[in-house]
Structure 1
């Protein structure tokens, strides 16, 4: 049985905007990772780990996983705190 996680990816730390942060990703988990003795890289014979599926909402991702009989775990996004600042705050004390 395949196992997957459903989550919203983090925004790029180099960008300040929150665009493209509303898509949900279904990503498969590696069953049996092996370590390459020569280079030390982690590899697997499971090709599903290379697959990332994008969905417009969490409900669509869950229904897809249930339809395809995929065990899944949902990672809820953390709410981001926004602190409203003004340029004048630099000079007030």
Structure 2
């Protein structure tokens, strides 16, 4: 079975970095089938519903190797943090004009 190991990105609904510190191991998506009666898409693979969380990348790799799974690691993208302060809105060196 093929699995992927990654760090989830922050959602668009939050400004903080919550739920982005653990590594997630999840199986690669399998091909879907169309139910002939209802037309719904489905899959017989129940492992698609499993997501395992690990504190470190090494723990996730060790778990995949112990179970004999082939894994791919997706490294997280570095996010630049720009320090900001409320006083910067009123600085004399501000590029744009400040008006109400």
Q: TM-score, normalised by structure 2?
A: 0.79
Aligned position for 2:46: 47
1:7-38 Cα offsets, whole Å, 9 max, x none, are 11112322222233211110011332223464
Give the 5 Å matches for 1:56-67.
56-67=55-66
Unaligned runs of 5+ in 2: 95-100
> 4+ residue runs of structure 1 moved beyond 6 angstroms?
none
Distance 2:21 2:15 in 1: 15
Q: TM-score, normalised by structure 1?
A: 0.84
Give the 5 Å matches for 1:1-93.
2-36=1-35, 38-39=38-39, 41-92=40-91, 93=94
Distance 2:31 2:18 in 1: 35
Please tell me the root mean square deviation across aligned C-alpha atoms, in Å. Answer: 1.7
How far the C-alpha of 1:42 sits from its partner, in A, is 3.2
SS in structure 2 of the partner of residue 17 of structure 1: coil
